[in-house]
């Protein structure tokens, strides 16, 4: 057990097999952290941003009991766009969230053409569009503007890399520090970059 100051009480002999407390894996995925952050934004009347549901066409449903339905077969109706959208300070917010265990780069294969097309349309119409990228092995989360993503996307089709180097994301992106209430406080970055 740890006290709030993070120190272990020194009762009895120390156990050398005891693992040290680590904050690197807080037990939350990036999506869970963003959902908690968005709930905080909504409850504090700061912004209205939600995860977009994936459109699914249900084809076959079984009813084993009167009170329970079981979906047996379904298909995606269409390709989804980005993960989240909403409104903040009278501006449209639209972003994709991705987590990677890769140490040296973010693979562009994690994104699809229709998502890039959607991001460009949002940017062209004056919305704020970006990616939130978490390097889980480093426990680092970055705000990466869509306009900085587009050149890497195009470059891969002209013989360039099929990934964005970690160092480039560190340079062109903005690290989002972990916080208690707004775990992934991306609005603080938007305030700094856009307002």
Calculate helix-pair angle for 113-124, 146-155, nearest 10 degrees: 140
Closest by CA to 110, choosing from 138, 134, 77, 86, is 134
Q: Which of these ranges, 50-54, 95-99, 121-125, has the smallest mean pLDDT?
A: 50-54
Contacts of 150 (CB under 8 A, 6+ apart): 116, 119, 120
Contacts of 73 (CB under 8 A, 6+ apart): 58, 59, 60
Average pLDDT, the chain: 85
Place of tokens 């470059």: 155
Cα 46–Cα 48–Cα 50 angle in degrees, nearest 5: 135
pLDDT at 2 over 60: no
Task: Report the CATH architecture of 30-194.
Answer: 3-Layer(aba) Sandwich (3.40)
Q: Once rounded to an integer, what is the mean pLDDT over residues 59-81?
A: 74
pLDDT at 62: 82
| Res. 158 pLDDT band, cuts 50 70 90 | very high
pLDDT at 4 over 80: no
Q: Where are the domains of the chain?
A: 30-194
pLDDT at 43 over 60: yes
Q: Which of these ranges, 22-26, 131-135, 168-172, 174-178, has the smallest mean pLDDT?
A: 22-26
pLDDT at 64: 76
- Could you read off the pLDDT of 76-121 as tens digits, one per residue? 665 678 999 999 999 999 999 999 999 999 999 999 999 999 999 9
The helix (H) or strand (E) run that includes residue 95 is strand 91-100
Backbone phi, then psi, for 173, in 5-degree steps?
A: -95, 180
pLDDT at 28: 59
């Amino acid at each position: 057990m740890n006290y709030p100051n993070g120190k272990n009480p020194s009762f009895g002999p120390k156990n050398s097999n005891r693992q040290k407390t680590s904050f690197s894996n807080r037990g939350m995925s990036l999506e869970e952290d963003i959902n908690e952050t968005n709930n905080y934004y909504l409850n504090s009347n700061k912004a209205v941003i939600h995860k977009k549901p994936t459109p699914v066409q249900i084809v076959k449903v079984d009813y084993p009991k009167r009170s329970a339905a079981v979906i047996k077969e379904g298909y995606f109706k269409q390709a989804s766009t980005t993960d989240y959208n909403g409104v903040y300070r009278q501006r449209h917010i639209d972003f994709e969230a991705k987590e990677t265990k890769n140490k040296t780069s973010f693979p562009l294969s994690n994104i699809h053409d229709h998502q890039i097309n959607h991001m460009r349309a949002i940017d062209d119409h004056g919305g704020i569009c970006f990616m939130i990228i978490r390097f889980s092995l480093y426990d680092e989360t970055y705000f990466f503007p869509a306009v900085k993503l587009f050149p890497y996307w195009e470059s891969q089709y002209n013989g360039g890399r099929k990934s964005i180097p970690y160092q480039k994301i560190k340079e062109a992106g903005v690290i989002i520090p972990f916080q208690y209430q707004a775990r992934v406080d991306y609005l603080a970055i938007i305030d700094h970059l856009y307002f």
